[in-house]
Amino acid sequence: MSVKSCEKVEKSQVALTIEVGAAEFEAAIEKAYQKMRKKVNVPGFRPGKAPRKIIEGMYGAEVFFEEAINIAFPEAYEAAVKEQELQVVGYPTVEMVGDCTKEGFTFKATTPVYPEVTLGEYKGLSAPKDEVKVTAADVDERLKQLSDRNTRLVSVEREAKEGDTAVIDFEGFLNGEPFDGGKGENHSLELGSHSFVPGFEEQVIGMKAGDEKDIDITFPEDYHADLAGKAVVFKVKVHEVKEKEVPEMDDEFAKDVSEFDTLKELKADLKKKITEERQKDADRAFEDALMEQVAANITADVPDAMIETQARQFLDNFKMQIAQSGIPYDQYMKMTGMDEAQLLADAKEPAERQVRMDLAVAAIIKAENLDATDEEVEAEFKRLAEQYGMELDMVKKYLQADQVKDQLISQKAVAVVVDSATATKPEKKAAKKSTKKTEETAEGEEKPAKKPAAKKKTTKKAEEAPAEKDAE
């Protein structure tokens, strides 16, 4: 193998012209013969026993060329990449140059490589940062969440109303025939949760245990293709109606749900935790806003392959999220009418932002000559073990030291930006003035600044938990 030329082209790609010589090609032809000979029929010879010269004489000297090229190409390409010290970030596109003969062949491989990155401003930046406030209403809302988690469902002998849970059997019919995904047994449906198709839950309200009813439903026009806009009938039977039994909000409640003896102590602890959570959110939003500026300030000809790879990673994360929800990915896509090609297209823009962010962080690491010591890596392992309540050896089993080290170095790069930055107050939204008192509204009230997007961002659809819009 010899590299005839190595040229930079647009979008951080390199075009390699590579020649495979006679000796290398002959070795590849012999491998092709060994691989293909059992599939070649030659009169007078058992399958796989015909000599190479006989086969070439019957079918031509080029009979093994195509397979030999496929065999020789990967090794020649990898050797050329190594020789030229290229940091490849995707698969090459390949074209033959001239004819292939027994003396060998020449091909051109155009491959995306890690781009050259020039840092812009990354120190002394500024971004808005929310002031953390926690009100009594915030604490009450968190108390309500605790109450909801400790609320029991108890059977009642009455008609179902909104907020109740009805245990039902159901089966859907389209033109008198049952359809896929339209049947369920002993399904607990919270009335008013809007987890079933519009109109279904409203018609269960008023039924009681033992009641059976036909429910007429027309699926929305934006439903998946099989049922979009179709009128169906669900046969429903109610087995049980349950209502929520909400605990009293007192000291006994505090003892039941926490380590505290009084409701006052519990409220104080909740306020502290909410404050810490919001401070972390504010810090992360501030960090993200700064890093988005850094990413926007870099100069880099980002290859499409890096963006496509990141978009695919977002999609894989989305698939994992769906799997964790207990719904098969294919079924979810059918239920929601989503298209994978569109998901990938929607992911391109956030993928590009993420790639530029990663390039910016890597450039800062290089510019600041950042590193992490073995002691810092070990301390991080111990922190993770404590955070997740795991044995240290178990954490080390699932995480490689290099992974932890890379993460620590990246955190140091972000810290370089954050520590040198200035936090500003979020801008207040200007009030709209009106000459008519009847048009005066609360538009002049301060509204929270829009939270910047997080660094690890997926498509909008990938961020949303799947809603149960099908009848199971």
**pLDDT above 90 as % of the chain:** 75
| Whether pLDDT at 87 is above 70 | yes
The answer to whether 219 touches 230, Cβ cutoff 8 Å, is yes
pLDDT of residue 333: 84
**CATH number for the segment(s) 152-245:** 3.10.50.40
In the chain, which residues fall in CATH 3.10.50.40?
A: 152-245
**Lowest mean pLDDT across 38-42, 130-134, 403-407:** 38-42
In the structure, what pLDDT confidence band is assigned to residue 326 with cuts at 50, 70 and 90? confident
In the chain, list all ranges with CATH 3.30.70.1050: 2-112
More confident residue, 408 or 472: 408
Give the model's confidence band at 454: pLDDT under 50 very low, under 70 low, under 90 confident, else very high.
very low
What is the arithmetic mean of pLDDT over 174-192?
90
CATH topology of domain 2-112: Alpha-Beta Plaits (3.30.70)
Among candidate residues 153, 155, 154, 171, the one with its CA nearest the CA of residue 240:
155
Q: Compute the distance between CA of residue 450 and CA of residue 133 in angstroms, rounded to an integer.
A: 16
Cβ pair 203, 233 in contact under 8 A: no
**Cα 10 versus chain centre, distance:** 29
Residue 7 pairs in a beta bridge with: 15
Q: Rounded to an integer, what distance in angstroms lies between the CA atom of residue 127 and that of residue 421?
A: 8
With cut-offs at 50, 70 and 90, classify the pLDDT of residue 221: confident
Instruction: Band the pLDDT of 444: cuts 50, 70, 90.
Output: very low
Q: Which residues pair with 165 in a beta bridge?
A: 190, 242
Amino acid symbol at 20: V
460 pLDDT more than 70? no
Pick the CATH number of 261-463 from 3.30.70.940, 1.10.10.10, 1.10.3120.10, 3.10.129.10: 1.10.3120.10
Average pLDDT of the chain? 88
Q: What is the pTM of this model?
A: 0.68
Interstrand relation of 93-101 and 104-112 (parallel, antiparallel or unpaired): antiparallel
Q: Minimum mean pLDDT among 38-52, 228-242, 267-281, 322-336: which range?
A: 322-336
Amino acid at 432: K
C-alpha torsion sign, points 38, 42, 43, 49:
negative
pLDDT, tens digit (0-9, with 9 covering 90-100), for 331-389: 888 877 788 998 999 999 999 999 999 999 999 999 999 999 999 999 999 999 999 99
